[in-house]
Amino acid sequence: MTLTIATRGSPLALWQAREVQRQLEEVHAGLEVVVNIVKTEGDRVQDRSVEALSSTGVFTKEVDARLLAGEAHVAVHSLKDQLATLPDGVCLGMVLPRGPVEDALVSTCGGGIAELPSGARVATGSARRRAQLLRARPDLKVVPIRGNVETRLRKLDAGEADALVLARAGLERLGLGGRITEVIETSLVLPAVSQGIVGVTCRVADDATLERLRAADDPVTHACATAERAWLRRLGGGCNVPAAAYAVSEHDRLIMRARVLAADGSDAMEADVTGEIASAEAIGCSLADGLIDRGAIELVRGSGA
């Protein structure tokens, strides 16, 4: 009883894979889970922004390709990096319980976003974060940055920026939560679709593996991910557009908020919806349709997405 995981090789990706390994081995007595590392386009190419790379899914498509080639039973992803439409033959079989969803500021100036001096250089590789930061503080200078969490922190410490915005979940999972100078409220910077969620994909036709994954799945987190990913898919956006959505569960109901912005933060629209958790996909689609009727797709396309 052996199950092979395909994953990226960054410290955070390995943390995710080992947590999936732990949970699967805990649920399935006698199951041995092994981890295989895949180097993706996003890992290999560090001298260009994610938007400038040749294709979408730069951190996920080569990992999922191992599934389709039969070289792994499952692939583990930071779900916010995964395409809203999965490759043919691949499905989302399991998610871990959601971690912290907020973005976090790491600042050499101390304090939070409100305390940053005018013209401060804030580094991020995310169009979503850039647009929302500029909407809140148009006087800031938002600069691009690439690399894993540790690399970005080293660049900050070397003086390449005055502050850095990263996912709180990633920092805390790596034991770097002490670097956070502000946990950014979601009202200010709404998180990416599926932020804080670790997702596990497998082949649609691999019934045995799919059954094992479902036994370890977190159904509430899965419903939130389903709603958010349906929203992004309906909107036609990728994982690096100036758009954000966040669903939470309360008493078998989902409450979901979404926001779409111009790339420079000069324009934005948002909306929210509530519905039964069993209708997660329909909730996401309904929220997207309302924003589309108000011109959300034109706003996203106008941002170069």
Active site residues: 81
Structural contact between residues 245 and 193, judged by C-beta atoms closer than 8 angstroms: yes
Sign of CA dihedral 235, 236, 239, 243: negative
